[in-house]
């Protein structure tokens, strides 16, 4: 028996990983602008009804975090209205919706409990500190209102891949061209290889009983600074870089940006592990595998 799945967000790194790992028995179609514009309700409805999928995976988003501070209208048009448009189309054809969200729905107080700081649960109070985070939270709320039992919302963080633009590829470029780098040390979370997230999504896509909000990243915890140090060490080991450059640890206050970032993004993945019966792999192992892929195509 085959299952038709529509992937929205054709040019993104997660959509590319999904498209390169389609399971046996799945007929998948990847769509993006201009053939499917998530901000246009008619465009979404027409595309979804024409393909008539059993499942829609929404990997499309407005992700320019800093630009969103001065372009809030577009951020909400894509991240809130776009999510609503997709949910409405899923409702019309009876499809489940798997929607990718972000750790940015949390701010700097969500993890504070009576016992100190704890990993962020799916039910932890959201308190976004940026337009991007607020617009993504608004999209989650639209989906839950329309598809309370037919949707899966998965929040992730620090996503990278051999595809697209991301922190790992930016660090490699800068390490090859700059005499030294400064990287933030006081923002903590977990990197996520998009291929691992794609694996989780494919498993859950074939489990119609799974619904609700989940968290998925790789295993472990680190800072952006330590992530950068690991990128350089492994890249030299794998021949992607020839020389090490000094990496300086900077406080967030020393690198001001238009949008505020969550200082703590350690996501609790317990329910996601149980739902898919998958154990996340440590972020450093995943990074090594991604750099092997990058070296193979370099």
Residues that are catalytic: 132
Instruction: Determine the Cα–Cα distance for residues 275 and 204; give it in Å rounded to an integer.
Output: 7
Helices 224-237 and 283-297: angle between axes, nearest 10 degrees: 40
The alpha helices in the chain, defined as continuous H runs, are: 13-19, 41-51, 65-68, 72-76, 82-93, 131-146, 167-177, 194-205, 224-237, 270-276, 283-297
Q: Could you tell me whether strands 55-58 and 112-113 are parallel, antiparallel, or unpaired per DSSP bridges?
A: unpaired
Specify which residues 101 forms β-bridges with. 155
Does residue 165 contact residue 106 with C-beta atoms inside 8 Å? no
Residues sharing a CB contact under 8 Å with residue 9, sequence separation 6 or more, in sequence order: 15, 30, 32, 58, 59, 60, 61
Coil/strand/helix, residue 197 = helix
Three-class SS state of 118: coil
């Amino acid at each position: 028996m085959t299952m038709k799945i529509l992937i929205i967000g054709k040019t993104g790194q997660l959509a590319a990983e999904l498209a390169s790992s389609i399971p046996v028995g799945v007929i998948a179609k990847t769509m993006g602008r201009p053939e499917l514009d998530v901000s246009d309700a008619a465009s979404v409805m027409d595309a979804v009804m024409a393909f008539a999928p059993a499942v829609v995976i929404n990997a499309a988003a407005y992700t320019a975090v800093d630009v969103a501070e001065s372009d809030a209208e577009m951020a909400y048009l894509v991240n809130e209205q776009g999510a609503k448009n997709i949910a409405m189309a899923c409702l019309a054809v009876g499809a489940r919706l798997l929607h990718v969200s972000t750790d940015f729905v949390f701010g700097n107080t969500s993890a504070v409990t009576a016992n100190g700081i704890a990993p962020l649960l799916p039910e932890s109070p959201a308190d976004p500190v940026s337009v991007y985070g607020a617009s993504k939270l608004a999209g989650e709320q639209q989906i839950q209102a329309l598809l309370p039992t037919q949707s899966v919302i998965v929040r992730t963080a620090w996503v990278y891949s051999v595809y697209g633009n991301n922190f790992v590829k930016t660090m490699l470029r800068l390490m090859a061209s700059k005499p030294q780098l400064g990287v933030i040390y006081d923002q903590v979370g977990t990197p996520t290889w998009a291929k691992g997230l794609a694996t989780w999504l494919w498993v859950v896509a074939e489990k119609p009983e799974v619904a609700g909000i989940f968290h998925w990243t790789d295993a472990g915890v680190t800072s952006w600074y330590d992530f950068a140090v690991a990128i350089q060490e492994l890249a030299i080991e794998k021949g992607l870089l020839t020389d090490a450059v000094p990496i300086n640890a900077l406080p967030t206050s020393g690198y001001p940006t238009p949008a505020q970032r969550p200082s703590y993004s350690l996501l609790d993945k317990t329910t996601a592990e149980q739902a898919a019966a998958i154990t996340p792999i440590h972020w450093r192992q995943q990074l090594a595998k991604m750099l092997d892929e990058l070296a193979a195509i370099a």
